[in-house]
Structure 1
């Protein structure tokens, strides 16, 4: 499985507008194409940030689904309204699953940690992360971007964890995320 961790920087005060539009128009339309949406979140520390997870069976499925979605009628009908809320939508990491979410119930806010490394993440670091009590663990995927119309961050050596646990590198970005009403990951 391939997962996108997408962080959108929005125009001030427009996050709830985007979330309302997203949950009304973009959830079912993506799921119908075989896309999974494990998490939709408000960043608890940044009122102008929307964070979400989007999953695909593999990179070929990603390409086909994104072509269908962004070439389809739902996106065409609502893209101007969605894009009007955004300053930046290019902060995207491609990830492979080490350990997926086993339970859709999470505390709020849920902690996501992006652990940055100077070299490729080694298997022993991945094993260490998998042994910790994280809710989920994902490893950077360095496949070629099969849908270049949507940029992804390249050259980043990362491990992404959800839920409480230790820092696994000397540089860690921590996100405190609150699931939205339509998030598959829900507050217990």
Structure 2
């Protein structure tokens, strides 16, 4: 599956990566063998960050899931779906994955829980997460808390995304820190089927960062008390959503750019 003669394409992808606003984002949630999360994080942060970015993709964030000691969550981005295919082929058919992939895979029970996303609006993607700001391998994890809220709506229903965009995001900014990103399902076909993604989804993901979990709780309480949420937005969301929102409570690793 490896593409040949794609040097110029990867250079173009690096240029787009330099704009720090990936247009396609993967939210990847891995279930690991018991007790092996730190092993994977150490390997990932040492061997699998810059080497992925050399092919034109962006490694945006790596996280421990506070609700599951055997869950590793991470984010990576691409300029577009075509460059995603080229970059993934270059990496997974390349020497780095050949050397380190077997050990990484050995820590995993499942790696197919993947949402393929895009910015909900032109300006709601991840911005200004520059690789030069990333700490060296072995950097201690920062004292930060990252919340990812996943809102699920029935397939084909556009009202849900509009409610998040026009109703919830302004309220989040009004009551606390602005989200780092708001993302919606990318509906284009998976351009690299060797890595499955969840099909048929209609999800909006809102990513917000806090100094700690109490700060997140304070923001949530202020939001819940807002009359516009309580009286107008929440009843409409409850009628529109397919299932209750899911909260991912995450702490970034030492090399995560999203923090």
Out of 81, 98, 110, the residue aligned to residue 146 of structure 2 is: 110
Structure 2: runs of 5 or more not aligned? 1-22, 134-141, 174-178, 209-215, 224-233
On the 8 A contact 1:8/1:50 being kept in 2, the answer is: yes
Q: Cα distance, 1:31 vs. partner?
A: 0.9
Structure 1: runs of 5 or more not aligned? none
Which structure features the higher share of helix residues?
2
Q: Cα distance, 1:128 vs. partner?
A: 2.5
**Count of aligned pairs:** 186
On the 8 A contact 1:100/1:137 being kept in 2, the answer is: yes
Show the counterpart of 1:128.
Answer: 167
Show the counterpart of 2:252.
Answer: 179
Q: Cα distance, 1:101 vs. partner?
A: 3.5
SS in 2 for 1:40: strand
Q: How does 1:74-113 map to 2 (within 5 A)?
A: 74-98=96-120, 99-102=124-127, 108-113=144-149
| Counterpart-to-counterpart distance in 2, 1:174 and 1:121 | 21
Out of 59, 66, 76, the residue aligned to residue 44 of structure 1 is: 66
Q: Cα distance, 1:33 vs. partner?
A: 1.1
What per-residue deviation string (whole Å, max 9, x for no partner) do you get for residues 58-86 of structure 1? Answer: 00010000000000000011111000000
On the 8 A contact 1:40/1:183 being kept in 2, the answer is: yes
After TM superposition, which residue ranges in structure 1, 4 or more long, deviate above 6 angstroms?
Answer: none
TM-score (norm 2): 0.67
| Counterpart-to-counterpart distance in 2, 1:107 and 1:113 | 20
On the 8 A contact 2:67/2:249 being kept in 1, the answer is: yes
Which structure features the higher share of strand residues?
1
